[in-house]
């Protein structure tokens, strides 16, 4: 099934303990689209400025992302700057310039209104809403957001969430959104806002998927060097939803696999700046790391009652 994504296409300035870069191709929709494209057809809705050159379009074309919904207008592309401490979960936003996104009116191209899966990547909740209003009863609406929008556009975000089924959120955003520290209580509070599947991203500590049918946790893959965490959350969502969209009538076991697929894609994303690692990624490497996750998390089928067997008093 096709996935329609709306979100930012950006130039990022990033500083990490191992280095940094300026004008790196990024954005929530970018990282999502590239990761999801390994599993499903992706349709991208976003806007860029005159500073967005042909070479910036190449990674999307290489992955066959449909760009009919990418507008190019006068002005500068969205820009974000951030810095990471020694703890990769510890990110500081230094600057956010909406630029061409300030006046953006998303237009859904002919034929895209029937997209069965919609991903509202991190962007102004009002733009997310405009997209929801233009699509025709999609089977799945999923969304992501950020403290920036939780703090500045709360009412709009709550309106969007009322139509969302799957929410991707990190633990600090979850606290901001609900005012609850306890993760289970916070998830209950999110469910009262709309989303019934809540995917809590905990950076290098992995992710927990709260579904009505049960809860599933996956650790983050132990990568040797986290070069740049930027885009990990969007790549996770891309792998997760890309896989779900590739399964007809996805059920709870598919959602468990999707959490692993998302973690696989995020683990590649953090190995280099911008799209440097994922651009060269092969299906074989994805399968190999999926296998790595299975080895990491699989344990034998010993009967739990037999655990203390011989030693029990």
Report the interface residues with ligand AMP, using CB under 6 A: 8, 10, 12, 26-28, 31, 80, 96, 122-123, 146, 148, 230-234
Least Å distance, CB 26 to ligand AMP, is 3
- Alpha carbons 86 and 88: distance in angstroms, whole number: 6
Q: Looking at beta carbons, which residue is closest to ligand AMP?
A: 26
As beta bridge partners, residue 14 has 21, 82
What is the C-alpha separation between 216 and 124, in angstroms, rounded?
30
CA dihedral over 24, 55, 69, 198, signed as positive or negative: negative
Cα Rg, the chain, nearest whole Å: 19
* Beta-strand pair 91-97/42-48: unpaired
CB 156 within 8 A of CB 125: yes
Please, where are the H alpha helices in 37-182? 54-62, 125-134, 147-152, 154-161, 171-178
In the structure encoding, which two tokens stand for residue 119, read together? 């991903």
Q: Which is nearer to ligand AMP, 148 or 290 (CB)?
A: 148
Q: How far is the CB of 78 from ligand AMP (least distance, A)?
A: 7
Q: How far apart are CA 25 and CA 10, in angstroms?
A: 6
* 12: β partners: 24, 80
Q: How far is the CB of 253 from ligand AMP (least distance, A)?
A: 26
Min separation Cβ 31 and ligand AMP, Å: 6
Residue with smaller CB distance to ligand AMP, 10 or 141: 10
CB of 123 to ligand AMP, least distance (A): 5
Nearer to ligand AMP, 58 or 287 (CB): 58
Shortest separation between residue 114's beta carbon and ligand AMP, angstroms = 26
Cβ closest to ligand AMP, residue 265 vs residue 286 = 265
Q: In the complex with ligand AMP, which residue's Cβ is closer, 123 or 209?
A: 123
Q: 139 or 204: whose CB is closer to ligand AMP?
A: 204
């Amino acid at each position: 099934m096709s996935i329609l994504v709306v979100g930012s296409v950006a130039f990022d300035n990033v500083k990490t303990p191992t280095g940094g870069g300026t004008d790196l191709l990024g954005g929530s929709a970018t990282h999502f689209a590239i990761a999801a494209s390994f599993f499903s057809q992706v349709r991208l809705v976003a806007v860029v400025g005159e500073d967005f050159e042909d070479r910036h379009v190449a990674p999307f074309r290489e992955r066959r992302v449909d760009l009919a919904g990418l507008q190019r207008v006068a002005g500068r592309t969205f820009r974000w700057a951030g810095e990471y401490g020694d703890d990769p979960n510890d990110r500081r936003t230094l600057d956010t310039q909406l630029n061409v996104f300030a006046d953006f009116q998303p237009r859904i191209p002919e034929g895209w209104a029937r997209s069965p899966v919609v991903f509202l990547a991190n962007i102004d909740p009002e733009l997310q809403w405009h997209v929801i209003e233009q699509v025709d009863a999609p089977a799945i609406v999923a969304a992501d957001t950020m403290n920036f929008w939780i703090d500045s556009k709360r009412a709009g975000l709550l309106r969007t969430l009322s139509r969302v089924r799957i929410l991707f959120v990190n633990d600090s955003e979850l606290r901001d959104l609900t005012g609850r520290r306890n993760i289970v209580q916070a998830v209950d509070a999110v469910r009262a806002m709309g989303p019934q599947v809540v995917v809590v991203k905990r950076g290098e500590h992995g992710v927990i998927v709260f579904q009505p049918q049960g809860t599933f946790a996956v650790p983050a893959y132990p990568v040797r060097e986290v070069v740049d965490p930027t885009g990990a959350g969007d790549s996770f969502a891309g792998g997760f939803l890309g896989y779900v969209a590739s399964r007809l009538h996805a059920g709870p076991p598919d959602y468990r696999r999707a959490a692993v697929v998302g973690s696989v894609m995020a683990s590649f994303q953090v190995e280099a700046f911008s799209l440097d690692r994922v651009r060269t990624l092969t299906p074989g490497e994805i399968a190999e790391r999926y296998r790595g996750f299975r080895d990491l998390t699989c344990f034998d089928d010993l009967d739990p009652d037999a655990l203390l067997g011989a030693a029990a008093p």
